[in-house]
Amino acid sequence: MINKNKMKIKKYFGTDGIRGRVGEKVINPEFILKLGWAVGRVLNEKFGEAKVLIGKDTRISGYLLESVLEAGLSSAGVNAWMLGPMPTPAVAYLTRTFRAQAGIEISASHNPYYDNGIKFFSSCGRKLSDDIEHAIEEKMHEPMKLVDASKLGKAKRIDDASGRYIEFCKSTVNVKNNLSGIKIVVDCANGATYHVAPAVLRELGATVIEIGVEPDGFNINDCCGSTAPELLSKSVLAERADLGIAFDGDGDRVIMVDHKGEVIDGDEIVFIIAKHGFSKGTLHGGVVGTVMSNLGLESSLGKLGIDFKRTKVGDRYVIEALHEKKWLLGGESSGHIAHLGFTTTGDGIISALQVLNAVDAKGVSLHELKSEMVKYPQVLINVNCKHPTSFNNNEKINKAVAKTAKVLGKHGRVLLRPSGTEPVIRVMVEGKDYDLITKVCEDLSDVVRKVVGG
């Protein structure tokens, strides 16, 4: 049976909640107040009486949005439990442990401070279903009516939220001699992990050098964190550390650096975790990646006999595929990695700990572990286009893509996809020969530009 709601186009919800620039369109007090009310109405109709956990990252706008969101929920008769600054995966975990009907993270993830967003989790710590999101959007079109004063929701603050999450993170690893003797530089992007990640690593015995742990509301993701690993690389070399770990603003992504200062992306992290799990018999199935995952990951997993499946870009699709296949591990090159054996969503700290577990178990450096996967060179060119989906079914572009694929053969691939955030078409070519893929990517981009550029 076809789910009609899944086919309907959503007006506000994207693949990861609602996001935008503060003060514009949807990220403004009026909209967020109404959104809180709509969410509350839907939850109360579904559960009778609901409570919602609310966390946030460190953006200056978080104070404003937290207040109006709580007011909107209260006006619908829903209780709000405030967590304060907290990583997104922590909200997913705590929503389950507190048996809340939903969890909300106020964050725009890796975006600059002037953006913000609202991420939602269901009672089981997963992204909201399409049915619930459609129901919320339908409520947004109704007039906002307050419940009777006797039924208004209450708000309370959870003081031990970070401590609970720290203990959970520590419980996911089995480090024989703990992390004593390992020197780690941790870059928290001046974001939501600033008070959690260093504590987890220290309590496991590591010597920790902290950077990006002084949030001021404006410096989140600013030349630091997983989107700017150059700072981490320099710090690892300067401190002569064994490795480095960088998170994004809300802690659901992680990028690492080895002792040589070389960056280890999400594909390599997934490979390290998968190979270690495979050797221990705990992988339980294959691995899910996306259309952007490096061909080297697929090839290296194949040599081990590990199945690999690709999805569209977006952690939502990765996690959906994991549930469909009943597998545990998946991720994106950007460092958004989910291990369903431990948690329900992408979790930067949990992913980093699984890599450290492999380092400890193998007794070798992170550099040696990542060198076991050979990455293929990738060339990515963005072509400006007013209507990014306009290349679909275009005969000239299809012929150019087919020609490129023939030139690359079985040791390369080509991908065109519209950006979900910019008016561009992303042209990606991957293969063993860097000079070759650079030339064919430029040639293909020229064709795309002439046909649909603007």
Q: Return d(Cα 290, Cα 119) in angstroms, integer.
A: 21
Q: Return d(Cα 56, Cα 108) in angstroms, integer.
A: 10
The answer on 127 and 236 residing in a single domain is no
Catalytic residue among 107, 109, 293, 300: 109
Using DSSP, state whether 373 is helix, strand or coil.
coil
- Per-residue confidence at 104, pLDDT binned at 50, 70, 90? very high
26, two tokens: 């949807």
DSSP letter at 2?
-
Please say whether the beta carbons of 275 and 355 come within 8 A: no
Please say whether the beta carbons of 92 and 103 come within 8 A: yes
Taking residues 120-130, report their average pLDDT.
94
Give the pLDDT of residue 177. 56
CATH assignment of the domain containing 422: 3.30.310.50
Taking 50 as the threshold, does the pLDDT of residue 2 lie above it? no
Give the pLDDT of residue 454. 57
Give the pLDDT of residue 14. 85
Q: For tokens 């459609």, what's the residue? A: 134
In what helix (H) or strand (E) does residue 370 lie, and over which residues does it extend? Answer: helix 366-370
150, two tokens: 């006797």
Q: Return d(Cα 136, Cα 119) in angstroms, integer.
A: 13
Average pLDDT of every residue of the chain: 93
Give the pLDDT of residue 5. 52
The answer on 118 and 17 residing in a single domain is yes
The answer on 133 and 42 residing in a single domain is yes
Taking 80 as the threshold, does the pLDDT of residue 175 lie above it? no
Give the pLDDT of residue 388. 65
Give the pLDDT of residue 389. 67
Give the pLDDT of residue 390. 67
Residue ranges of E strands in 370-431: 378-384, 412-418, 424-431
Phi, psi of 102 (to 5 degrees): -165, 160
Tell whether 172 is covered by a domain. no
CATH assignment of the domain containing 72: 3.40.120.10
Number of domains in the chain: 4
Domain end residue (candidates: 197, 230, 263): 263
The answer on 28 and 150 residing in a single domain is yes
DSSP string of 290-339? Answer: ETTS-HHHHHHHHHHT--EEEE-SSHHHHHHHHHHHT--EEE-TTSBEEE
Tell whether 356 is covered by a domain. no
pTM for this entry: 0.91
Q: Return d(Cα 53, Cα 48) in angstroms, integer.
A: 17
Range 350-360 burial, b when 16+ CB lie within 10 A, else e? bbbbbbbbbbb
293, two tokens: 């995952």
The answer on 311 and 285 residing in a single domain is yes
Residues 374-433 have pLDDT tens digits of: 999 999 999 988 776 667 778 899 999 999 999 998 889 999 988 766 788 899 999 999
The answer on 296 and 211 residing in a single domain is no
- Give the domain extent around 93: 4-159
Please say whether the beta carbons of 213 and 198 come within 8 A: yes
The answer on 141 and 74 residing in a single domain is yes
Tell whether 301 is covered by a domain. yes
Residues 6+ apart with CB under 8 A from 6: 130
235 is catalytic: no
Residues 5-50 have pLDDT tens digits of: 555 788 899 878 999 999 999 999 999 999 999 999 999 999 888 9
Tell whether 311 is covered by a domain. yes
Taking 50 as the threshold, does the pLDDT of residue 1 lie above it? no
The answer on 305 and 212 residing in a single domain is no
Tell whether 290 is covered by a domain. yes
Tell whether 354 is covered by a domain. no
The answer on 244 and 194 residing in a single domain is yes
Tell whether 170 is covered by a domain. no
Please say whether the beta carbons of 237 and 244 come within 8 A: no
Tell whether 152 is covered by a domain. yes
Residues 285-320 have pLDDT tens digits of: 999 999 999 999 999 999 999 999 999 988 889 999
Using DSSP, state whether 396 is helix, strand or coil.
helix
Taking residues 323-349, report their average pLDDT.
96
Please say whether the beta carbons of 203 and 163 come within 8 A: no
Please say whether the beta carbons of 352 and 245 come within 8 A: yes
Inter-axis angle of helices 434-452 and 395-408, nearest 10: 180
The answer on 339 and 304 residing in a single domain is yes
Range 325-336 burial, b when 16+ CB lie within 10 A, else e? eebbbbbbbbbb
Please say whether the beta carbons of 178 and 357 come within 8 A: no
DSSP string of 91-155? Answer: HHHHHHHTT-SEEEEE--TTS-TTEEEEEEEETTSSBPPHHHHHHHHHHTTS---PPPGGG---E
The answer on 118 and 48 residing in a single domain is yes
The answer to which of 112-126, 236-250, 389-403 has the lowest mean pLDDT is 389-403
The answer on 189 and 218 residing in a single domain is yes
Give the pLDDT of residue 176. 59
> In degrees to the nearest 10, what's the CA dihedral of 279, 280, 284, 289?
-50
